[in-house]
Structure 1
């Protein structure tokens, strides 16, 4: 796989999501309410997650089995978008515990777990990291 503009956009947005996510989560933990910081970081995180998900649609699956360029990893796109909508609905309906839980699970699954898989051998980011460490 080559470093295309869509790969660059996807990578930048994903890295931003990994960095912004903990700030949004931390700023609203119990006992410490930082509403403006939480809202700003939260909306920024949602924005970069939407960019990450949508940009993934333009990155074809290279090695995995795929149909028309879409592989199993592309199933995360509708999942992430739906879960973002669900989390926002929870917030708007005042179900803050459900909102908090959904956002935390989405951060762990979409940013940390999916991000860890990008470091596997044969993946572009994994090759870059290994070349930097060598």
Structure 2
């Protein structure tokens, strides 16, 4: 079961990374930005939710399940709706801050941990 979750998680994270990079580098406020942004947010939510079902493999665990990396999952669950409603309400500054936090924390930092020795993705790619 763990491998299915890992595959699903990777299937949501990989396109989210590409889409998030595209969104950060292109013009904001366009219809394509809004459409891709919604898809990106759904992918990030699915990624965060799926990761919560994946038991921590390294380090200390809370409730014999959650590890430190799960902090990013909970942050994503906060950042996505916060960014969405900020944009809907015209608070572009807050939207921008949340989206940058989502990209850096949810993809870059958490993703970097996924490549560390002892982690599943490291084993798939480097062993």
Return the TM-score normalized by structure 2.
0.89
Gaps of at least 5 residues in structure 1 are none
Say if 1:53 and 1:81, in contact at 8 Å, map to a contact too.
yes
Shift of 1:75: 2.1
Count how many residue pairs are aligned between Structure 1 and Structure 2. 126
Say if 1:56 and 1:77, in contact at 8 Å, map to a contact too.
yes
**1:65 maps to what in 2?**
60
Confirm whether residue 122 of structure 1 aligns to residue 118 of structure 2: yes
**1:38 maps to what in 2?**
33
Report the RMSD for the aligned CA atoms in angstroms. Answer: 1.7
Gaps of at least 5 residues in structure 2 are none
Separation in 2, partners of 1:26, 1:103: 13
Separation in 2, partners of 1:44, 1:88: 12
**1:86 maps to what in 2?**
82
Separation in 1, partners of 2:126, 2:2: 16
Say if 1:87 and 1:102, in contact at 8 Å, map to a contact too.
yes
Separation in 1, partners of 2:58, 2:84: 35
Corresponding residue SS for 2:13: helix
Separation in 2, partners of 1:65, 1:105: 25
Return the TM-score normalized by structure 1.
0.85
The structure having more radius of gyration, on CA atoms, is 1
